């Protein structure tokens, strides 16, 4: 059993690659819910959906988010009505959010709904929201306090951030399934997701950071920053703004004593010794997963 | 200024006909919200939407509800997911519900949202939900207590009803706009909507029944039952099940001392004397509005 702490796109790709080289029913993802939102009355879970769609082979590669073959009837009309259409929700994608919102109203948990959607789409990996309680990643910026999607989608993460807060996290409980996965998995993997806004909300849920620290030897992390830059999204900029180096070394320092083995890209091989001097093992390989072959090679290193 | 107490389709047709023969900006509809529902997290107002769409010329005549040229991408996908797809929501129609739900979350009232949607669609008639507070029409049936749409849509109103309850109505307040319309309009019209489930929820809101009674001379009602049968929907059956005659006379008895002038169909001319003996004036004309010409004639009688 392997468990992967997961954000959105980067984690989805790693999970897909792992599914190719191992039995996916032995694979569990503990997924960030800090960027979940309620919009138009609908509960939307971007990271859970990205992973579900990607593992189902339904992800839209052109857009980098959402479903392939998507249409935009509802959004076009909402835009015409003067509604909040900046957060684009495709017609098929909307069905996911309608389904989830209704099931939550009926008393189902986010964990239940995630399992139902995964089952429907034939996804064999176990997908677990880190908590069924609401938590929300918020940004303290030069423009004031912003919600995750206001920062990420509405402002295209192009605003100076002075702090990140995970509201609600002090009272959020990790689910029993999450606690069990953290205890019983042979290996705990931190996906190459944004450390500050994808992985950090998971780590801040009570008990998660401690569980990793207690099992440091079994914790493997893949750096999402290569040659100082994030492949996608604002991880590099955010690291700098929050006082970390924008490099694989900065990520190592961000996670501190949680990680036993680091996997870094060949382009960063020169950093290996510095990382080792901080007390971790280092594996060097290609960590860019654009090519399926490279992704599978990375997956094998994660498992080795 | 003319104010029309309104349910869905029948009222929408009368309002459209009245708009043809008078300045629509002098026309107000006080609209039932007892069949409003929250489904999939979305707040849906079927009667308000039916009237808005009809007055905007966007109503779907084939279906008898919803928008013309509608598509069903979201519902088809929701159905595939195993979601609650029995309440059919078209893609364009969904944009209305997303817009409304988001605006309510932002603190707007149902009255605000109704005005915004009407303005967007170029509707000049003033549409007023009878109350901004939640009320819900529920049915006591042989199958237990059912919500409005469970009764109406899910069971196709094919279940024996022993009682109708408007929950929440004892604490609901008519809006200030509604109170003003009831006081200041030259004429108050009860549309040919279902008395039991469309008009009754309006009448039960505190102050509305009293306002009509105090102005009985100015109250005109159009019978929705012709030759013992409702043109559409379960009004006739419900009247019988609740102990009223299924006839224009039964409707007269249902409204009691609220109505000064009754408009009944030519086919029911024989009932005119019985209605007069109950203390009301009677006008006899064609009340079936399928033909625009007939609808306009009815509208002129309402105004005369």
Model confidence pLDDT, tens digit, residues A182-225: 999 999 999 999 999 999 999 999 999 999 999 999 999 999 99
DSSP-assigned states of every residue in A58-121:
-B-TTTSSSBTT---HHHHHHHHTT---SS---HHHHHHHHHHHHHHHTT--HHHHHHHHHHHT
Q: Which two tokens stand for residue B202?
A: 């309006």
| DSSP 8-class letter at B124 | -
Tell me if B52 sits within 8 A of B107, measured CB to CB: no
The correct CATH number of A2-45+128-139+167-303 out of 3.40.50.1100, 3.30.420.40, 3.40.50.10680, 3.20.20.450 is 3.40.50.10680
Q: Report the pLDDT value the prediction gives residue B64, as an integer from 0 to 100.
A: 86
Q: Tell me the chain A residues in contact with residue B98 when contact means C-beta distances shorter than 8 Å.
A: 40-42, 74, 78, 83
- Average pLDDT, integer, range B154-162: 93
- Nearest beta carbon to residue A95 from set B83, B92, B117: B83
Q: Which of B248, B179, B145 is nearest to B3 (CA)?
A: B179
In terms of CA atoms, which chain A residue is nearest residue B93? Answer: A74
Residue B231 has pLDDT above 90, yes or no: no
CA distance B90 to chain A (A): 9
Model confidence pLDDT, tens digit, residues A282-300: 999 999 998 999 999 999 9
CA distance B179 to chain A (A): 29
Q: Do B41 and A92 touch (CB under 8 A)?
A: no
Tell me if A234 sits within 8 A of A277, measured CB to CB: no
Q: Do B102 and A71 touch (CB under 8 A)?
A: no
Residue B290 has pLDDT above 90, yes or no: no
Q: Find how far residue B191's CA is from the centre of its chain.
A: 7
- Nearest beta carbon to residue B95 from set A83, A95, A120: A83
In terms of CA atoms, which chain A residue is nearest residue B70? Answer: A73
pLDDT band at B228 (very low <50, low <70, confident <90, very high): very high
- Nearest beta carbon to residue B102 from set A40, A99, A117: A40
| Chain B interface mutation, best of A37, A56, A95, highest count of B Cβ atoms under 10 Å | A95
In terms of CA atoms, which chain B residue is nearest residue A69? Answer: B73
pLDDT band at A231 (very low <50, low <70, confident <90, very high): confident
Q: Do A41 and B39 touch (CB under 8 A)?
A: no
Q: Break chain B into its structural domains and give their ranges.
A: 2-35+124-139+167-303
% of chain B at pLDDT higher than 90: 94
Q: Do A83 and B77 touch (CB under 8 A)?
A: no
Q: Tell me the chain B residues in contact with residue A101 when contact means C-beta distances shorter than 8 Å.
A: 40-42
Model confidence pLDDT, tens digit, residues A254-268: 999 999 999 999 999
- Average pLDDT, integer, range B239-246: 94
Model confidence pLDDT, tens digit, residues A73-123: 999 999 999 998 999 999 999 999 999 999 999 999 999 999 999 999 999
pLDDT band at A162 (very low <50, low <70, confident <90, very high): very high
Q: Report the pLDDT value the prediction gives residue B143, as an integer from 0 to 100.
A: 92
Q: Do B40 and A101 touch (CB under 8 A)?
A: yes
Q: Tell me the chain B residues in contact with residue A41 when contact means C-beta distances shorter than 8 Å.
A: 38, 40-43, 97-98, 101-102, 104-105
Q: Report the pLDDT value the prediction gives residue B183, as an integer from 0 to 100.
A: 97
More confident residue, A233 or A39: A39
Q: Do A73 and B92 touch (CB under 8 A)?
A: yes
In terms of CA atoms, which chain B residue is nearest residue A40? Answer: B102
Global pTM reads: 0.94
Q: Report the pLDDT value the prediction gives residue A131, as an integer from 0 to 100.
A: 98
Q: Tell me the chain A residues in contact with residue B39 when contact means C-beta distances shorter than 8 Å.
A: 102
| Chain A interface mutation, best of B37, B39, B41, highest count of A Cβ atoms under 10 Å | B41
Q: Report the pLDDT value the prediction gives residue B221, as an integer from 0 to 100.
A: 98
Query: Which CATH number does B2-35+124-139+167-303 carry?
Result: 3.40.50.10680
Strand A126-129 with A144-147, pairing: unpaired
% of chain A at pLDDT higher than 90: 95
Q: Do B74 and A98 touch (CB under 8 A)?
A: yes
B243 three-state secondary structure: coil
pLDDT band at B20 (very low <50, low <70, confident <90, very high): very high
CB-based contacts of B60, cutoff 8 Å, min separation 6: B53, B66, B67, B68, B69, B70
Q: Which of B191, B199, B183, B195 is nearest to B34 (CA)?
A: B199
- Averaged pLDDT score across all residues of chain A: 96
Q: Which two tokens stand for residue B11?
A: 């009222």
Model confidence pLDDT, tens digit, residues B50-85: 999 999 999 998 888 999 999 999 999 999 999 989
- Averaged pLDDT score across all residues of chain B: 96
Q: Please enumerate residues of B whose Cβ is less than 8 A from a Cβ of A.
A: 38-43, 71, 73-75, 77-78, 80-84, 91-92, 94-99, 101-102, 104-105, 116-117, 120
């Amino acid at each position: 059993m392997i468990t992967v702490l997961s954000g959105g796109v980067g984690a989805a790709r790693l999970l897909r690659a792992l599914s190719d080289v191992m039995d996916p029913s032995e694979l569990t993802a503990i997924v960030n819910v800090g960027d979940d939102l309620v919009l138009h009355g609908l509960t939307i879970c971007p990271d859970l959906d990205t992973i579900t769609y990607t593992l189902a082979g339904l992800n839209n590669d052109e857009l980098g988010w959402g479903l392939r073959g998507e249409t935009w009837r509802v959004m076009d009309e909402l835009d015409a009505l003067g509604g909040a259409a900046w957060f684009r929700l495709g017609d098929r994608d909307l069905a996911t959010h309608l389904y989830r919102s209704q099931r939550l109203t009926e008393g189902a948990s986010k964990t239940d709904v995630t399992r139902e959607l995964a089952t429907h789409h034939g996804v064999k990996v176990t997908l677990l929201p880190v908590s069924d309680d609401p938590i929300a990643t918020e940004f303290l910026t030069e423009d004031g306090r912003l919600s995750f999607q206001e920062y990420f989608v509405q402002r295209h993460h192009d605003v100076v951030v002075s702090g990140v807060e995970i509201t609600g996290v002090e009272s959020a409980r990790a689910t029993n399934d999450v606690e069990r996965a953290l205890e019983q998995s042979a290996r705990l993997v931190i996906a190459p997701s944004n450390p500050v806004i994808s992985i950090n909300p998971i780590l801040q849920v009570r008990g998660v950071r401690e569980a990793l620290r207690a099992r440091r030897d079994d914790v493997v992390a893949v750096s999402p920053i290569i040659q100082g830059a994030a492949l996608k999204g604002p991880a590099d900029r955010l690291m700098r703004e929050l006082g970390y180096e924008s490099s694989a070394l900065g990520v190592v320092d961000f996670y501190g004593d949680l990680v036993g083995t680091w996997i870094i890209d060949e382009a960063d091989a020169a950093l290996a010794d510095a990382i080792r001097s901080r007390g971790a093992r280092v594996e060097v390989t290609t960590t860019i997963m654009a090519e399926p072959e490279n992704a599978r090679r990375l997956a094998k290193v994660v498992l080795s």
